Amino acid sequence: MSAPIASSQAALVRELTGRRLSRFRSGDLLVLIAFLMLAAIVVCALIPATLAPHPPNQQEITMRLLPPTWMARGDSAHPLGTDQLGRDLLSRVIHGARISLIVGLSALIISGFIGVAIGLLAGYYRGWLDDWIMRLADVQLAIPYVLLAIAIIAVIGPSNLNVVLVLAVNGWVVYARLARGQALSLREQEFIQAYRALGARDWRIVLQHILPNLLSAVIVVASLELAGIITLESSLSFLGLGIQPPTVSWGYMLADGRTYQLGGAWWVVTFPGLAITATILSINVLGDWLRDVLDPRLKI
């Protein structure tokens, strides 16, 4: 009587642990791949000149629109081929990583700082300040952001700095709402009330006791926001309203090469596009993973 039960128990245990292990492994593998991919992109951004075989803007008109090296007319000096001006595509893709990450991270940091600060103020002091800030956030969310961004760029003109500003202006709302929500709920809790009763100043309470409680949520949101910021940057650059040449950006490469794609030079748009997608994808995968690790209940 007991033998079948024991064996079925063993099977159950085996099935349970086996399934858990396999699930753990497949999810983990994806995160690992994403991490390696992002690490490679960061290395490209840090030392592009060392990695790239050619200077990114070096033109060789005689070598224009060469296909990747594994194709019939390919040249071993240009592994991914060349563009319409004979510039080495691999070198340009490597150099493009730098501006995407610089712009993305600076916009992320600016919008994060501003957003968290505003949100903490609104949530901690409440009252009319809170009302106004949150109404402003609602209003901004009511404007389709690509349109708002290009309207602002239309006024202040396209430049690398202006792109960062526009992206930062676009991003603060998410952090402000997050920080406000936390500040609102924390300020009523007993440990905060106790600090206040002990005579702690407001800024001290906010910085030392509310802010740390907010950090993991901010990190998760920021990692997912980064993907959106980089996409928006490359969209603006694609429309000619973002990063300006001679700075190499993936978005502009796509815009620049799209007419040649119709003539059959698929590589001119395929590789920069792959680079953007790989960046966004790895950030998204890592962001999801971070959320599961740091703050599983966070709904975004």
Partner 1 sequence: MWRYVRRRLVLAVLTFWAVSTIVWGLLYLTGDPVAILLAGTPAGQTDVEQLRHALGFDRPLPIQYLHFLSAAVQGDLGNSLRSGEPALLLVSRRVGFTVQLALLAMTLALVVSIPVGIVSAMFRGSLTDRTLMLLSMVGQSMPIFWVGLLMIAVFAVELRWFPAGGAGGIKYLFLPAATLALYPMARIARLVRSSLLDVLNRDYILAARARGLREALVVGKHALKNAALPVITIVALQFGYMLGGAVITETIFGWPGVGLFTVTAIHERDFPVVQAAVVLASGMFIALNFLVDLLYGWLDPRIRFS
Please state, in angstroms and rounded to a whole number, the distance separating the CA atoms of residues 118 and 219.
Answer: 17
Contact 286, 294 (CB under 8 A): no
Within positions 122 to 161, which residues make up the interface with partner 1, using CB under 8 A? 135-136, 138-140, 142-148, 150-156
Contact 70, 61 (CB under 8 A): no
In whole angstroms, how close is the CB of 20 to partner 1 at the nearest point? 10
Q: Choose, by CB under 8 A, the member of 42, 102, 280, 294 that binds partner 1.
A: 280
Contact window for partner 1 (CB under 8 A) among 48-56, 194-202, 209-217, 283-291: 283-291
Within positions 163 to 222, which residues make up the interface with partner 1, using CB under 8 A? none
Contact window for partner 1 (CB under 8 A) among 55-63, 110-118, 120-128, 247-255: 247-255
Q: Choose, by CB under 8 A, the member of 273, 294, 295, 298 that binds partner 1.
A: 273
Exposed e or buried b for every residue in 212-245, given b needs 16+ CB within 10 A?
eebeebbbbbbbbbbbbbbbbbbbbbbbebbbbe
Compute φ and ψ for 107, nearest 5 degrees. Answer: -60, -40
Structure-block tokens of residue 267? 């590589």
Between 162 and 247, name the residue whose CB sits nearer to partner 1. Answer: 162
Please state, in angstroms and rounded to a whole number, the distance separating the CA atoms of residues 115 and 180.
Answer: 9
Other CB atoms within 10 Å distance of the CB of residue 36: 11
Contact 252, 273 (CB under 8 A): no
Can residue 284 be called a binding residue for partner 1 (CB under 8 A)?
A: yes
Can residue 100 be called a binding residue for partner 1 (CB under 8 A)?
A: no
Site residues, partner 1 (CB under 8 A):
19, 23, 26, 30, 135-136, 138-140, 142-148, 150-156, 227, 231, 234-235, 238-241, 251, 254-255, 258, 261-262, 264, 266, 269-270, 273, 276-277, 280-281, 284-285, 288
